[in-house]
Amino acid sequence: MSKVGLLVCGNSGIDYIDHKHDIQVLRSILLFGDEEFADFIDITADQFYAKLESNPELTPSTAQTATGVILEQYEAMKEKGCDEILVVTLSKHLSGTYEGCMLAAKMIEDIKITIFDSKTVAFPESRMILDAAEMLQNGKPMSEVIKRLEFIRDNSMIWIVVDTLKYLVKNGRLSGAAGFMGSLLKVKPLLEVTKEGRVESIEKIRTTSKATDRLIEKFLEEIKDYDVEPFLINTNNMDRVNYIMKKIQAARPDLKEIKVYPLTPVVGAHAGPGTVGAGYIKK
Protein backbone atom coordinates (compact mmCIF):
# COMPACT_ATOMS: atom_id res chain seq x y z
CA MET A 1 0.00 0.00 0.00
CA SER A 2 1.30 3.43 -0.93
CA LYS A 3 1.98 6.00 1.75
CA VAL A 4 0.41 9.34 0.92
CA GLY A 5 1.80 12.50 2.46
CA LEU A 6 -0.54 15.46 3.02
CA LEU A 7 0.45 19.09 2.55
CA VAL A 8 -1.71 22.22 2.80
CA CYS A 9 -0.88 25.91 2.82
CA GLY A 10 -1.17 27.81 6.08
CA ASN A 11 -3.72 30.17 4.54
CA SER A 12 -6.22 27.39 5.25
CA GLY A 13 -6.02 28.15 8.97
CA ILE A 14 -5.27 24.49 9.70
CA ASP A 15 -2.96 25.55 12.55
CA TYR A 16 -5.99 26.81 14.49
CA ILE A 17 -7.95 23.54 14.19
CA ASP A 18 -7.44 20.61 16.56
CA HIS A 19 -6.98 17.40 14.60
CA LYS A 20 -5.18 14.06 14.86
CA HIS A 21 -3.75 13.78 11.36
CA ASP A 22 -0.20 14.08 10.04
CA ILE A 23 -0.62 17.14 7.82
CA GLN A 24 2.36 19.23 6.80
CA VAL A 25 1.94 22.99 6.28
CA LEU A 26 3.36 25.34 3.66
CA ARG A 27 4.05 28.63 5.43
CA SER A 28 3.76 31.98 3.74
CA ILE A 29 5.80 34.92 4.99
CA LEU A 30 4.49 38.07 6.66
CA LEU A 31 6.58 41.18 6.11
CA PHE A 32 6.77 44.31 8.26
CA GLY A 33 9.36 46.34 6.40
CA ASP A 34 12.61 44.38 6.71
CA GLU A 35 11.19 42.03 9.34
CA GLU A 36 10.06 38.58 8.20
CA PHE A 37 7.72 36.26 10.10
CA ALA A 38 6.76 32.71 9.14
CA ASP A 39 2.98 32.47 9.45
CA PHE A 40 1.96 30.89 12.79
CA ILE A 41 5.53 29.81 13.63
CA ASP A 42 6.85 33.33 14.28
CA ILE A 43 3.58 35.17 14.70
CA THR A 44 0.06 33.96 15.53
CA ALA A 45 -3.23 35.58 14.59
CA ASP A 46 -3.73 37.13 18.05
CA GLN A 47 -0.19 38.53 18.06
CA PHE A 48 -0.56 39.93 14.55
CA TYR A 49 -3.85 41.73 15.15
CA ALA A 50 -2.61 43.10 18.48
CA LYS A 51 0.41 44.47 16.60
CA LEU A 52 -1.84 46.18 14.04
CA GLU A 53 -4.11 47.61 16.73
CA SER A 54 -1.16 49.07 18.64
CA ASN A 55 0.27 50.62 15.48
CA PRO A 56 -2.40 51.30 12.81
CA GLU A 57 0.22 52.88 10.54
CA LEU A 58 1.89 49.53 9.94
CA THR A 59 1.46 48.27 6.39
CA PRO A 60 2.18 44.54 6.32
CA SER A 61 2.83 42.71 3.08
CA THR A 62 3.25 39.03 2.32
CA ALA A 63 5.33 36.61 0.32
CA GLN A 64 4.36 33.14 -0.81
CA THR A 65 6.38 30.08 0.13
CA ALA A 66 9.52 29.96 -2.02
CA THR A 67 9.63 27.19 -4.61
CA GLY A 68 12.87 25.91 -3.07
CA VAL A 69 11.20 25.60 0.33
CA ILE A 70 8.29 23.68 -1.23
CA LEU A 71 10.77 21.35 -2.90
CA GLU A 72 12.49 20.78 0.45
CA GLN A 73 9.16 19.78 1.99
CA TYR A 74 8.49 17.36 -0.86
CA GLU A 75 11.94 15.83 -0.39
CA ALA A 76 11.50 15.54 3.39
CA MET A 77 8.17 13.76 2.92
CA LYS A 78 9.75 11.43 0.37
CA GLU A 79 12.56 10.61 2.80
CA LYS A 80 9.95 9.70 5.41
CA GLY A 81 8.62 7.02 3.08
CA CYS A 82 5.89 8.82 1.16
CA ASP A 83 5.57 7.60 -2.41
CA GLU A 84 2.71 10.01 -3.13
CA ILE A 85 1.86 13.53 -1.94
CA LEU A 86 -1.46 15.36 -2.02
CA VAL A 87 -1.16 19.15 -1.87
CA VAL A 88 -4.11 21.49 -1.33
CA THR A 89 -3.48 25.18 -1.98
CA LEU A 90 -5.45 28.36 -1.75
CA SER A 91 -6.86 29.76 -4.98
CA LYS A 92 -4.27 30.39 -7.68
CA HIS A 93 -6.00 33.75 -8.26
CA LEU A 94 -5.08 34.85 -4.74
CA SER A 95 -1.49 33.62 -4.58
CA GLY A 96 1.29 32.08 -6.61
CA THR A 97 1.48 29.14 -4.18
CA TYR A 98 -0.28 26.76 -6.59
CA GLU A 99 2.17 27.58 -9.38
CA GLY A 100 5.09 27.26 -6.96
CA CYS A 101 3.89 23.80 -5.94
CA MET A 102 3.54 22.79 -9.60
CA LEU A 103 7.04 24.03 -10.38
CA ALA A 104 8.59 22.26 -7.39
CA ALA A 105 6.85 19.03 -8.41
CA LYS A 106 8.79 19.08 -11.69
CA MET A 107 12.05 19.20 -9.75
CA ILE A 108 11.63 15.92 -7.90
CA GLU A 109 11.59 12.37 -9.23
CA ASP A 110 10.16 9.01 -8.20
CA ILE A 111 7.17 10.36 -6.30
CA LYS A 112 3.67 11.16 -7.49
CA ILE A 113 2.45 14.62 -6.52
CA THR A 114 -1.17 15.72 -6.92
CA ILE A 115 -1.74 19.46 -6.49
CA PHE A 116 -5.32 20.59 -5.96
CA ASP A 117 -6.37 24.22 -6.39
CA SER A 118 -9.06 24.72 -3.75
CA LYS A 119 -10.27 27.90 -5.52
CA THR A 120 -10.90 29.30 -2.05
CA VAL A 121 -9.16 30.17 1.21
CA ALA A 122 -9.61 29.68 4.96
CA PHE A 123 -11.82 26.95 6.41
CA PRO A 124 -13.05 25.21 3.22
CA GLU A 125 -9.41 24.56 2.36
CA SER A 126 -8.89 23.02 5.80
CA ARG A 127 -12.01 20.90 5.40
CA MET A 128 -10.59 19.54 2.15
CA ILE A 129 -7.31 18.34 3.64
CA LEU A 130 -8.99 17.00 6.80
CA ASP A 131 -11.51 15.00 4.79
CA ALA A 132 -8.70 13.75 2.56
CA ALA A 133 -6.78 12.57 5.62
CA GLU A 134 -9.83 10.76 7.00
CA MET A 135 -10.62 9.09 3.69
CA LEU A 136 -7.06 7.95 3.08
CA GLN A 137 -6.85 6.61 6.60
CA ASN A 138 -9.96 4.55 5.84
CA GLY A 139 -8.39 3.13 2.70
CA LYS A 140 -10.22 5.20 0.10
CA PRO A 141 -8.46 5.57 -3.26
CA MET A 142 -7.09 8.93 -4.39
CA SER A 143 -9.75 9.12 -7.12
CA GLU A 144 -12.50 9.20 -4.46
CA VAL A 145 -10.55 11.72 -2.40
CA ILE A 146 -10.28 14.09 -5.37
CA LYS A 147 -14.03 13.77 -6.01
CA ARG A 148 -14.66 14.79 -2.40
CA LEU A 149 -12.33 17.79 -2.74
CA GLU A 150 -14.14 18.79 -5.93
CA PHE A 151 -17.48 18.55 -4.12
CA ILE A 152 -16.31 20.85 -1.33
CA ARG A 153 -14.80 23.26 -3.87
CA ASP A 154 -18.01 23.39 -5.90
CA ASN A 155 -20.41 23.47 -2.94
CA SER A 156 -18.94 26.04 -0.59
CA MET A 157 -19.17 29.81 -0.37
CA ILE A 158 -17.69 32.65 1.66
CA TRP A 159 -18.97 36.23 2.03
CA ILE A 160 -16.82 38.86 3.69
CA VAL A 161 -17.21 42.36 5.12
CA VAL A 162 -14.00 44.31 5.66
CA ASP A 163 -13.66 47.41 7.79
CA THR A 164 -11.44 48.99 5.15
CA LEU A 165 -10.62 48.02 1.59
CA LYS A 166 -7.18 49.61 1.61
CA TYR A 167 -5.40 46.33 2.37
CA LEU A 168 -7.15 44.35 -0.38
CA VAL A 169 -6.68 47.11 -2.93
CA LYS A 170 -3.06 47.78 -1.95
CA ASN A 171 -2.12 44.12 -2.29
CA GLY A 172 -4.05 43.59 -5.52
CA ARG A 173 -6.34 40.88 -4.10
CA LEU A 174 -9.63 42.58 -5.02
CA SER A 175 -10.67 41.77 -8.59
CA GLY A 176 -11.95 44.66 -10.65
CA ALA A 177 -10.71 47.35 -8.26
CA ALA A 178 -8.64 49.28 -10.80
CA GLY A 179 -10.14 52.58 -11.85
CA PHE A 180 -12.47 53.13 -8.94
CA MET A 181 -10.25 52.69 -5.91
CA GLY A 182 -11.24 56.06 -4.45
CA SER A 183 -14.94 55.29 -4.49
CA LEU A 184 -14.36 51.79 -3.13
CA LEU A 185 -12.45 53.06 -0.13
CA LYS A 186 -15.49 55.07 0.92
CA VAL A 187 -17.87 52.10 1.08
CA LYS A 188 -18.21 48.84 3.01
CA PRO A 189 -18.97 46.40 0.23
CA LEU A 190 -20.09 42.85 0.56
CA LEU A 191 -17.31 40.70 -0.87
CA GLU A 192 -17.53 37.18 -2.21
CA VAL A 193 -15.02 34.45 -2.93
CA THR A 194 -16.25 33.49 -6.39
CA LYS A 195 -16.44 30.00 -7.87
CA GLU A 196 -13.32 30.88 -9.88
CA GLY A 197 -11.46 31.69 -6.67
CA ARG A 198 -11.36 35.48 -6.91
CA VAL A 199 -12.40 38.04 -4.29
CA GLU A 200 -14.97 40.39 -5.79
CA SER A 201 -17.27 43.13 -4.56
CA ILE A 202 -20.88 42.08 -5.20
CA GLU A 203 -22.70 44.92 -3.43
CA LYS A 204 -21.65 48.41 -2.37
CA ILE A 205 -22.94 49.38 1.06
CA ARG A 206 -22.34 52.59 2.98
CA THR A 207 -21.92 51.43 6.57
CA THR A 208 -20.33 48.48 8.32
CA SER A 209 -23.51 47.66 10.25
CA LYS A 210 -25.61 47.56 7.07
CA ALA A 211 -22.96 45.50 5.31
CA THR A 212 -22.96 43.03 8.20
CA ASP A 213 -26.75 42.72 8.11
CA ARG A 214 -26.61 42.17 4.35
CA LEU A 215 -23.97 39.46 4.84
CA ILE A 216 -26.33 37.66 7.23
CA GLU A 217 -29.23 38.09 4.82
CA LYS A 218 -27.20 36.80 1.87
CA PHE A 219 -25.94 33.82 3.86
CA LEU A 220 -29.45 32.84 4.96
CA GLU A 221 -30.83 33.27 1.42
CA GLU A 222 -28.18 30.95 0.01
CA ILE A 223 -28.57 28.14 2.57
CA LYS A 224 -32.38 28.11 2.89
CA ASP A 225 -32.79 24.84 0.95
CA TYR A 226 -29.65 23.10 2.17
CA ASP A 227 -28.17 21.18 5.05
CA VAL A 228 -24.80 22.85 5.56
CA GLU A 229 -21.70 23.03 7.70
CA PRO A 230 -21.62 26.76 8.57
CA PHE A 231 -18.58 28.69 9.73
CA LEU A 232 -17.56 32.23 10.62
CA ILE A 233 -14.15 33.81 10.04
CA ASN A 234 -12.69 37.03 11.40
CA THR A 235 -9.55 39.00 11.98
CA ASN A 236 -10.17 40.60 15.37
CA ASN A 237 -13.86 41.33 15.62
CA MET A 238 -15.53 38.86 17.98
CA ASP A 239 -18.31 41.28 18.93
CA ARG A 240 -19.54 41.33 15.36
CA VAL A 241 -18.96 37.58 15.01
CA ASN A 242 -21.21 36.97 18.02
CA TYR A 243 -23.83 39.30 16.55
CA ILE A 244 -23.78 37.38 13.25
CA MET A 245 -23.97 34.03 15.02
CA LYS A 246 -27.00 35.04 17.09
CA LYS A 247 -28.83 36.35 14.03
CA ILE A 248 -28.13 33.21 12.00
CA GLN A 249 -29.12 30.83 14.79
CA ALA A 250 -32.30 32.79 15.47
CA ALA A 251 -33.29 32.30 11.82
CA ARG A 252 -31.93 28.74 11.58
CA PRO A 253 -32.11 27.12 15.03
CA ASP A 254 -31.11 23.79 13.45
CA LEU A 255 -27.59 25.23 13.07
CA LYS A 256 -26.72 24.53 16.68
CA GLU A 257 -22.96 24.66 16.18
CA ILE A 258 -21.27 27.36 14.12
CA LYS A 259 -17.49 27.16 14.36
CA VAL A 260 -15.45 30.37 14.41
CA TYR A 261 -11.96 30.52 12.91
CA PRO A 262 -9.38 33.32 12.83
CA LEU A 263 -7.93 34.43 9.54
CA THR A 264 -4.20 33.76 9.60
CA PRO A 265 -1.82 36.75 9.70
CA VAL A 266 -0.94 36.35 6.01
CA VAL A 267 -4.62 36.34 4.97
CA GLY A 268 -5.37 39.06 7.52
CA ALA A 269 -2.67 41.25 6.00
CA HIS A 270 -4.88 41.45 2.91
CA ALA A 271 -8.27 41.57 4.65
CA GLY A 272 -7.25 44.06 7.33
CA PRO A 273 -8.41 44.38 10.94
CA GLY A 274 -12.13 44.29 11.70
CA THR A 275 -12.94 41.76 9.00
CA VAL A 276 -15.76 39.23 9.42
CA GLY A 277 -17.04 36.54 7.10
CA ALA A 278 -19.65 33.83 6.91
CA GLY A 279 -19.59 30.73 4.81
CA TYR A 280 -20.88 27.23 4.39
CA ILE A 281 -20.08 23.84 2.94
CA LYS A 282 -23.01 21.75 1.74
CA LYS A 283 -23.29 18.37 3.41
From the candidate CATH numbers 3.40.50.10170, 3.90.45.10, 3.40.50.10680, 3.40.50.1370, the one assigned to the domain spanning 4-28+64-154: 3.40.50.10170
Work out the percent of the chain whose per-residue pLDDT is above 90: 76
Domains of the chain, by residue range, sit at 4-28+64-154, 156-282
| C-beta of residue 179 within 8 angstroms of C-beta of residue 166 | no
pTM: 0.93
How far apart CA 3 and CA 172 sit, in angstroms, is 39
Q: What is the pLDDT of residue 273?
A: 84
Each residue of 100-157: pLDDT tens digit?
A: 999 999 999 999 999 999 999 999 999 999 999 999 999 999 999 999 999 999 999 9
Stretch among 1-10, 49-58, 138-147, 222-231 having the lowest mean pLDDT? 49-58
Q: What is the pLDDT of residue 274?
A: 87
Q: CA angle 193-172-202, nearest 5°?
A: 35
Strand extents, DSSP E, 219-275:
228-234, 259-262
Per CATH, the number for 156-282 is 3.30.1180.10
Kindly indicate the confidence band of residue 1, based on its pLDDT and cuts at 50, 70 and 90. low
Each residue of 18-37: pLDDT tens digit?
A: 999 999 999 999 998 888 99
Angle between helices 238-251 and 208-223 (to 10 degrees): 40
Distances, alpha carbon 16 to alpha carbons 81, 86, 111, 275, in Å = 27, 21, 30, 17
Kindly indicate the confidence band of residue 177, based on its pLDDT and cuts at 50, 70 and 90. very low
| C-beta of residue 232 within 8 angstroms of C-beta of residue 46 | no
Strand extents, DSSP E, 182-270:
190-193, 199-203, 228-234, 259-262
Each residue of 41-80: pLDDT tens digit?
A: 999 999 998 888 888 788 888 999 999 999 999 999 999 9
Mean pLDDT of 222-247: 95
Q: What is the pLDDT of residue 185?
A: 58
